[in-house]
Chains A and B, each alone.
Chain A
Amino acid sequence: MIPRGTNPDPNPNSTLIDQNLDAIEDQLASIVLAQPNDIEDSSSEQEVFKDAPNGSLLDEENQQEIGGGEIVLCGGVRSSKWTNRRARAAAGMLVRGGAVEPPVRLRLRRPVEIEFVRLGGAILSMTCRILKAPWVPGKRHADEDDASVSWRKRKKHFFILSHSGKPIYSRYGDEHKLAGFSATLQAIISFVENGGDHVKLVRAGKHQVVFLVKGPIYLVCISCTEEPYESLRGQLELIYGQMILILTKSVNRCFEKNPKFDMTPLLGGTDVVFSSLIHSFSWNPATFLHAYTCLPLAYATRQAAGAILHDVADSGHLNLSRQFACQDIIPWHFCMLMSIILMIRIEMVLLKSNVLSEVQRSMLDGGMRVEDLSVDPSPRSGSSSPHLGQSRLATESLDRFQEAFVGIGGPAGLWHFIYRSIYLDQYASSEFSSPINSLQQQKRLYRAYQKLYASMHDKGNGPHKTQFRRDENYVLLCWVTQDFELYAAFDPLADKALAIKTCNRVCQWVKDVENEIFLLGASPFSW
């Protein structure tokens, strides 16, 4: 609860926000103290993105109370942006100042940006936008078990158990408390296997239960996210891969020798790793594209970075990654590898060159933007393909403009694309354009791509060459050739012929800048 009486001025029309930032910071302390858990897991399948409109400030229970997060106060002209702590403090004060009745409990789940438009000291309007929260890996809701209503409501569960039914890992809840549940899962698997069959998928209403048996290790996903079976099964494969990466295949021998073996202690402290991996299933297209991505870099910079990494590898510091290079690595293991490579703190080495600053710049700048795609219909006019970073200055000023008027994306209503090179096992994707700037929309788009990928690679009906799909959210276009796969999202009203033309231009663009967005020639595993 926000303590009352700490705000000496109950009048929101006065200049309390404008003038006394220090006071706000003080207010903040009390708010933050009062709500130690106010920022919650932004990825948790259950509570996030449900119906939160773009720009909602508070979580659902408070949303109705303050009308979707937009608070209009009184006349004004100037605008300013605050983020996080300060914005939260300000919002708390405004609400408490009586602008909104009754005073609400301020609970923010994610960092927000609050924009004020002011005239002198008066506030014309205040708009709140949710920012991308820094996602924190780790175990969630460890106190729950299968009797908890909250546990049952979670959208996506992952379990690892042994062939004797002992729990090894659960995404949510306490493994030990879920021992009975784990036993039930084992019984289901064994029951079917005893009949000389294998259980792959059980559908129960909105839920899918996906099973994967890997020798003495059983993996189960229970999901109502409507992801395709193939995707969920692929995710279980990745989780298994992650586990083997930590413990090696020695686990099989261990269970052979002693089926009683309790593996949980061996994985102690690795919750962070598994939760990161599971998080990436929703946020990293690499997990369903079976390809990895490169940071866009100028060709020369990438060469320099490669040379440095080579030296490190030769000096033996990168042995870890080399270990895995000679294992049976397939491309999608790469996302696991990345975490290990990062652990070795390559940046320490890169720091000594100017490569790191280039890398950082690239991370800030981002990669391809659909807005930069040339509208010029004449193909092969090399200059029409903007190189990365080149047109940045020109678009910089436009950004402000677009933000203000809500951009429409690229030509022909192109909102986003992913280009996957089949030879390189790499993909490149555009930045999200403004029509899909909320996390909720981005996640939804990834899910749509994931579905598209599965349907294109469907063993029963596929593989397909092209697909054009229109629904109320997008036009999705997929084009698969021997060399590449292109996934593109357009405005739902986009014209089909124009969309196809635009896809051709995207492919041309990618080809023109391919040595900046892909790692060509050398495989990263050939160190």
Chain B
Amino acid sequence: MSSRRRMLLKVVILGDSGYVNRKFSNQYKATIGADFLTKEVQFEDRLFTLQIWDTAGQERFQSLGVAFYRGADCCVLVYDVNVMKSFDNLNNWREEFLIQASPSDPENFPFVVLGNKIDIDGGNSRVVSEKKARAWCASKGNIPYFETSAKEGFNVDAAFQCIAKNALKNEPEEELYLPDTIDIGGGGRQQRSTGCEC
């Protein structure tokens, strides 16, 4: 292999703050209540494909239940810096994710928190301070924190970079794939008469 292999990361976006990625996507899947998109990110010499499941603010997607969270590599929690309730709910979203996705090592599962919509009203309507948000993140095992404006796309890329970086850090040692052992003896021979119907 000349280039190191690409990594595919499933990123689930949760929270009360509306779509983070609207800017990048115009194909919103209304019936399912989630927005799916693909974003390529380069970090150091590695190429990452982020498969982003953006549901922020939608109740509907919960109908997907476990299937939605299954196999997530990273969870992004989003709140609206202008709405206190959305910040208070971060804890619920985090818990919900850990229950549904039941990752093997919940303590170290990579989360990222985004304080969204910092651009609204020139920041005058802001009710959640950056300090408060960072404190919460620190208390939950130092979750990386970013302030973003999805409308402008501000800082969103930095958040994605961080996701890639995390993934690289947590990259499992090359998983060993053990195929099933196949019994070459007996079976086939006994079936001489019926052949392949064994």
Contacts and interface: CB of A to CB of B under 8 A. Distances in A.
Interface string A247-267: 111100010001111101110
B186 interface: yes
B4 to A, nearest CB: 11
Given A180-B38, A184-B36, A194-B65, A166 B177 contact: no
B68 A187 contact: yes
B67 A319 contact: no
Given A164-B72, A191-B64, A328 B38 contact: no
A312 B68 CA distance: 51
Interface in B38-56: 38, 40, 49-53
Interface string A291-332: 000000000000000000000000000010011011111110
A17 interface: no
A330 B73 CA distance: 38
B111 to A, nearest CB: 15
A526 B198 CA distance: 10
A187 B29 contact: yes
A254 B49 contact: no
Interface in A95-119: none
A200 to B, nearest CB: 18
A523 B180 contact: no
B175 interface: yes
Contacts of B32: 184, 187-188, 191
Interface string B169-198: 000000101111011111110011111111
Contacts, number: 144
Contact of B38 (A177, A330, A525): A177
Q: Interface extent on B, as a size class?
A: 35 or more
Contacts of A188: 32
Contacts of B70: 163-165, 259
Contact of A162 (B71, B175, B191): B71
Contact of B67 (A190, A323, A327, A334): A190
Contact of A323 (B177, B184, B194): B184
B179 A248 contact: yes
Interface string A175-194: 01111111110111111011
A164 B188 contact: no
A524 interface: yes
A176 B187 contact: no
A167 interface: yes
Given A248-B180, A325-B196, A327-B182, A260 B51 contact: no
B37 interface: yes
Interface string B52-79: 1100000000011101101111000000
B98 interface: no
Contacts of B10: 164-166, 183, 260
Interface string B63-107: 111011011110000000000000000000000000000001000
Contacts of A166: 8, 10, 51, 71
A178 B188 contact: no
Given A165-B70, A325-B191, A525-B196, 6 more contacts: A176-B8, A179-B51, A180-B38, A250-B180, A323-B182, A523-B192
21 contacts: A163-B70, A166-B8, A176-B6, A177-B49, A180-B51, A182-B51, A183-B51, A183-B53, A184-B32, A194-B67, A247-B177, A248-B182, A250-B179, A258-B175, A259-B70, A260-B72, A322-B184, A326-B188, A425-B196, A523-B195, A525-B195
Interface of A: 145, 162-167, 176-184, 186-191, 193-195, 247-250, 254, 258-262, 264-266, 319, 322-323, 325-331, 333-334, 425, 523-527
